[in-house]
Amino acid sequence: MALILGGFAFTDYAIPEMVPQGGEHNFIIHKLIGGTRVVDAMGPDDADISWSGRFQGPAATPNAMALDQLRKAGAQLPLIIDSQFYTVVIKKFEWDYQRSYQILYRITCVVVSSTGGALAVPATLDVLVGLDMGLAAGLVASFAAAAPF
């Protein structure tokens, strides 16, 4: 399974066994005299997307810290789950430090928008470069905020 959040690619043990997706559809139900109902469909409401995994190896702590910086930044990020594409914000990221080389994590993302599940292909090279520049600027800002000097 390919799992990418912003510029962060989950690999090895960090890839979860499953990533539940889906949601509800909002309805307004008008109950009329005589028991008749009028149902207005208001549109889809995607559920939060949550998963958990484990960072293993010498990059475990830096990986957990990098995701925590993305949470702190509060920026909208692309989330790719195989062929599914979403724009999300990280609502919650928790990590359990067991050893410097082993960290368990749990993450919850709020879906800002989705393309109906299918991976959207940007129309132009300008769009691709713009997305990459935005991600790079967000990462630079998060590292600058975490710098001890």
Q: CA end-to-end span of the chain, whole Å? A: 39
pLDDT value, residue 115:
80
* Helix/strand/coil for 26: strand
Q: Which domain holds residue 98?
A: 3-15+46-146
pTM across the whole model: 0.72
How many separate domains does the chain show?
1
* Residue 84 domain-assigned (yes or no): yes
Angle between the N-to-C axes of helices 125-146 and 60-73, in degrees from 0 to 180, rounded to the nearest 10: 100
What digits encode the pLDDT tens for the residues 2-45? Answer: 899 998 999 999 999 999 999 999 999 999 999 999 999 999 99
Tokens of 149: 């000097």
* Residue 139 domain-assigned (yes or no): yes
The C-alpha atoms of residue 11 and residue 55 are separated, in whole angstroms, by 9
Which residues of the chain fall short of a pLDDT of 70? 116-149
pLDDT value, residue 123:
46
* Residue 32 domain-assigned (yes or no): no
